[in-house]
Structure 1
Amino acid sequence: MGDENNLPYPFEFRDITDEEKLVIDKLHDFPYASELARLGPKGYIVNKAFKKDAANIYNLPLKSSDIFVTSYQRSGTTWTQELVWLLASDLDYEKALAVPLVDRYSFLEMFMFVPDAGLDSFINTVSQNTENFNKETMLQIVNFLGTPASRKLAITPSPRFIKSHLPMSLLPPKVLDTAKMVYIARDPRDVAVSFYHHTRLFMLTGFKGTFKEFWQLFHGDLLALTPYFEHVKEAWEKRHDPNMLFLFYEDLSKDLPAAIHRVADFLGKKLDDAQTAALCDHLSIENFKKNKAVNFEEFRALGMLAKDEAFVRKGKTGGWRDYFDEKMTQQAEKWIADNLKDTDLRFPSTN
């Protein structure tokens, strides 16, 4: 695709309000709100760094062999990525265990999560978190993470596996005309709990608040790529497209073999009972926690992960009940009902 064929970028970036900045910054170690903007008519929260590659992502040259795994973050993305990759790669467990998932998938918007304003704060935190801190190595890693994926994808051989937490409207507009996509959704209350621990784990934003304060940011559309429901509904509207498979985390959790067969059918693969059982075993939460290729433990040795958090946690549904008080529960129920009233989208019950 030549530049002359590129679509003009249709969305405007706008600053968040001063009131929103105050709410955000009191919960972070550095002025994190200065990194953020709202994008497009739905006001998705993005880091301002997204500007440098937004148009390239929107105009990303696609191939029919491309497979996207997309979601709102902490919805079961990593689990789904591993499942999709193994099915598409004819169950190559040897490679799956040897090559980290981050090297098997291009993370489309990872570059925007490397904060400019908070970089010194983050590096200082990391230096206190490891005995063998090397600033030069750390800056090389940060530089790698901050490199736009569109550049990496231009030289990635097929089949290309692409992960993204961007909503459909920020992806290439004709993505489903060419590539396949698996979207995974999860009860937003469980998403909030998992996202809270994830934010504490990676320390990039310097978040220092309680879960209750984190929930108010999530509920108030003040976290990355919120509003949550707009994100999910954009994918839900495309669920009947032959190149889209819409999954619920709760369904994977309840009946993994059935979910595996749905994904296999979508990718044109057939599994016998023994292969299905072996894949279920590989994807079990117990084995996933121990699997160094998927749990980001290589970052722990570098001091980039908080010592009291893990990337793969409990993997259960309905765990939000351990975190929500009565007032938060009622607020969440009303929020969910209000956002689903004009749609047939319903999250599977976790009772």
Structure 2
Amino acid sequence: MPDAAFRYRSPDEDSARWRNFPRRAGDIVISTRSKSGTTWMQMICALLVLRTPELPAPLPELSPWLDWLAEPAESVYDRLAAQPHRRFIKTHTPLDGLPVDPRVHYVVVARHPLDMAVSLHHQSANLDRARLAALTGQPAAPVPDRVRPTVQEALVRWVDADPDPREELDSLPGVMWHLRDAWSRRHQPNVHLVHYDDLSADLSGQMHRLAALLELDPPGPDLVAAATFDRMRAAADRLAPDPVGIMKDRRAFFRNGRSGQGLALLDEATRDRYRARVAALSPPDLLAWLHRER
């Protein structure tokens, strides 16, 4: 990792694990924010690389989350070193925290931030935090004696919160930091931006586009069918990103993926605050693409 790369750290992630990871020409790094289509893109890459809807191993084994502290780094490195095919590796680290290598492809998936935040709220309730703390060597956080906020209440707080984006990457400033950095690199031949709504609207077309960008053969109908949301939910035990058992319900990870739900939950005043905040955090052309404005 070059000296200029920023080190992103959280209680369960550390981007410094990329420093000692030996890269190969043709590697595919999937860089997304949480609940923005990470697992979906991992599955698409698995299908395009392996050419079969019947994966030879669970998806988290084939495409590990390299930064995640719940698995020892050497175990992840060894598993990836043993793979004879092109590798496709998950990270939630923005590109400015990664060793950007001209031999490697970087796929960044974007989703409307409000939809991402709704899914993040539901996912938070599905995690066994005591087990996660034990796996990462962190003290178990006390369970607060208060009623969990509704999704609307949580979304309003998320819109209004203003943390350091590099300290809280799943905040609104953090999401826009990640996407703004990727957007600034979009003309580089090995950086590929994909929109969650485009995957929803035209999965076959997007898989064909990605195959061409990654210099892979185009998918047949069987591979496209295997990447649909319903098929992935049905195979949740093998596809959910839960190799060490921190989810209470793996099928709940694939909740619905519906677009537009976040905006619909806000009143007009909060929508206006959201628009003002993202306008201050990102260039207009990125926002037009991200919000699907025409």
The normalised TM-score by structure 2 is 0.78
189, 194, 199: which one aligns with 2:119: 194
Alpha-carbon distance between aligned partners in 2 of 1:187 and 1:72, rounded to the nearest angstrom: 11
CA shift in 2, pair 1:216/1:67, >3 Å = same
Asked whether the equivalents of residues 186 and 250 of structure 1 are also in contact (C-alpha less than 8 Å), the reply is: yes
Q: Secondary structure in 2 aligned to 1:310?
A: helix
From the superposition, tell whether residues 61 and 271 of structure 1 become closer, same or farther in structure 2 (CA, over 3 Å). closer
Q: Distance in 2 between matches of 1:60 and 1:280?
A: 31
Contact 1:107–1:164 under 8 Å retained in 2: yes
For 1:57 and 1:298, the matched residues in 2 are separated by: 20
Kindly provide the CA deviation profile for residues 297-350 of structure 1, in whole angstroms up to 9, marking residues without a partner as x.
887xx6x43469810011221121343233332222222222234654521538
Q: Show the counterpart of 2:233.
A: 289
The one of 97, 100, 103 equivalent to 1:178 is 103
Deviation at 1:225, TM superposition (A): 4.8
Q: Is the 8 A contact 1:57 1:171 kept in 2?
A: yes
Shift, 1:80, TM fit: 0.9
Distance of aligned partners of 1:54 and 1:319 in 2 relative to their CA distance in 1, 3 Å threshold? closer
Q: Provide the residue aligned with 1:71 in structure 2.
A: 32
CA distance in 1, matches of 2:291, 2:159: 21
Taking a change above 3 Å as real, the CA distance of residues 193 and 8 of structure 1, as seen in their structure-2 partners, is same
Q: Distance in 1 between matches of 2:241 and 2:92?
A: 18
Distance in 2 separating the partners of 1:93 and 1:328: 43
Radius of gyration: which is bigger?
1
1:93 maps to amino acid: P
Match of 1:252 in 2: 199
Instruction: Report how many aligned residue pairs link the two structures.
Output: 267
CA distance in 1, matches of 2:122, 2:53: 29
- C-alpha distance in 2 between matches for 1:350 and 1:286: 28
The CA deviation at 1:151 is 5.3
For 2:113 and 2:104, the matched residues in 1 are separated by 27
Aligned counterparts of 1:187 and 1:59: Cα–Cα separation in 2: 33
Distance in 1 separating the partners of 2:293 and 2:200: 10
2:64 corresponds, among 106, 110, 114, to 106
2:52 corresponds in structure 1 to 92
1:264 to 1:307, Cα distance in 2 relative to 1, 3 A: closer
Residue 347 of structure 1 corresponds to which residue in structure 2? 290
Match of 2:135 in 1: none
1:169 aligns with 2:113: no
Alignment of 1:241-320 (within 5 A): 241-271=188-218, 275=220, 277-292=221-236, 293-295=238-240, 304-306=246-248, 310-320=252-262
CA–CA separation in structure 2 for the residues paired with 1:309 and 1:350: 32
Map 1:135-150 → 2, pairs under 5 A = 145-148=70-73
Aligned to 1:216: 157
Equivalent in the alignment of 1:331:
273
How far 1:234 sits from its partner (Å)? 0.8
CA distance in 2, matches of 1:228, 1:60: 25
Change (3 A) 1:215 1:224: farther
1:190–1:66 Cα change, 3 Å: same
Is there any run of 5+ residues in structure 2 with no aligned partner, and where?
Answer: 130-140
State the 1:267 CA deviation. Answer: 2.1
Report the Cα offset of residue 198 of structure 1.
1.3
SS of aligned partner of 1:245: strand
Partner Cα separation in structure 2 for residue 199 and residue 268 of structure 1: 37
CA contact (8 A) 1:69 1:162 kept: yes
CA contact 1:248–1:348 (8 Å) conserved in 2: no
- 2:12, 2:68 within 8 Å by CA — same for their partners in 1? no
Q: Residue 186 of structure 1: CA displacement? A: 0.7
**Identity percentage over the alignment?**
25
Structure-1-length-normalised TM-score: 0.66
